[in-house]
Amino acid sequence: MELYIDDRQDKIELDEEVFNIVEKAIKETLLFESKPLSFEVSLTFVDNEGIRELNKQYRNIDRETDVLSFPLYEDSSISPAPMLGDIVISAEKAWAQSIEYGHSFIREIAYLTVHSILHLLGYDHMEEEDKSIMRAKEKEIMKRLKIFKKGKED
């Protein structure tokens, strides 16, 4: 697996622990989905303003969000593709959410990465049934990563 990380923000200091959990989360998600580890993934960290601009440009939603996923192919049956897609995470929003939800920044980054890779693999959460499937997969992958919500191990 090739992972390209670009830190384009200066609000939150990112270190090797962050980059390592991103890589681990991507690998675990691909393994969970029985996908090859031969994919390339690009991950860019931005601030709230940067992700707001992208959200407005690509989704016509003029507000910040935590993560955006840009799959290379809309058709998930195209496999294996060398480049899976692009992920953009607002480090600033992830930091705020980690405080709001009462868990670590590392947990939040891991969760957003898992969530985004599932999107790149074709999962969505627009319909309640799809949301339920995606949430169950996220929960199981986070268990495999041994990253739990505060006070929970399920």
- Which residue ranges are tagged as binding site? 115, 119, 125
Map 68-95 to HEC letters. Answer: EEEECCCCCCCCCCCEEEEEEEEHHHHH
Residue 53 CA to residue 4 CA, distance in Å, equals 22
Residue 11 CA to residue 5 CA, distance in Å, equals 16
Binding residues for Zn(2+) are 115, 119, 125
List the Cα angle 38/94/146 in 5-degree steps.
60
Residue 108 CA to residue 97 CA, distance in Å, equals 7
